[in-house]
Every structure is written in C-alpha cells, then in structure tokens.
C-alpha cells in the first residue's frame, strides 16, 4: 500500500521560497500566477493492506517527524 503525504505551510506563515518563485515567474512573463506556496511531498510504501491502520500510522508519523505541526499542515492519501 502507498501513502502520499503533502506537507505545506499553514496560512499566515511567511513563505520566502514561494515569494522568490513567484517573483521569478513574473520576471519570466508568467503574469497569471496570483501566489506561490512551496511544500513537500513524501511517498511511503507500507507493508499493510489495512487502509485504516495505514492512515492512523501515517498520521502518527506526520505528528512525530514528517511535519512541523506548529507551522505546517499536511494531507494524507492512501492508495
């Protein structure tokens, strides 16, 4: 089973990398971009077929290590 975790900064947390990317896109004449936020994606291959167990385990991983829950949110997709 595969778990995909998308980690991104919470609303209101400054994203200097996103701002720099937005500025670079504008300088390249990509003017239709209103805002850019940079995040990360973590893909985990799990040794279980129990979707509920996998979701709970990955949530624990996020809370313990994969995301800084003070400034980041995350979404989990189990396939």
pLDDT tens by residue, 2-37: 999 999 999 999 999 999 999 999 999 999 999 999
φ/ψ of residue 75, rounded to 5: -125, 145
Dist. CA 38–CA 25, nearest whole Å: 14
3-state secondary structure of 6: strand
Gap between the Cα atoms of 78 and 2, Å rounded: 6
Contact 76, 4 (CB under 8 A): yes
Domain 2-78 has CATH 3.30.1280.10: yes
Q: What is the residue extent of each domain of the chain?
A: 2-78
| Closest by CA position to 42, among listed 25, 71, 67 | 67
pLDDT per residue over 32-74, tens digit each? 999 999 999 999 999 999 999 999 999 999 999 999 999 999 9
């Amino acid at each position: 089973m595969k778990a995909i975790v998308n980690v991104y900064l919470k609303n209101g947390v400054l994203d200097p990398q996103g701002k720099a990317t937005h500025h670079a896109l504008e300088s390249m004449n990509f003017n239709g971009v209103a805002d850019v936020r940079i995040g990360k994606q973590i893909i985990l291959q799990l040794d279980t077929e129990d979707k509920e167990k996998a979701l709970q385990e990955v949530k624990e991983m996020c809370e313990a290590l994969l995301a800084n829950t003070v400034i980041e949110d995350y979404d989990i997709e189990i396939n």
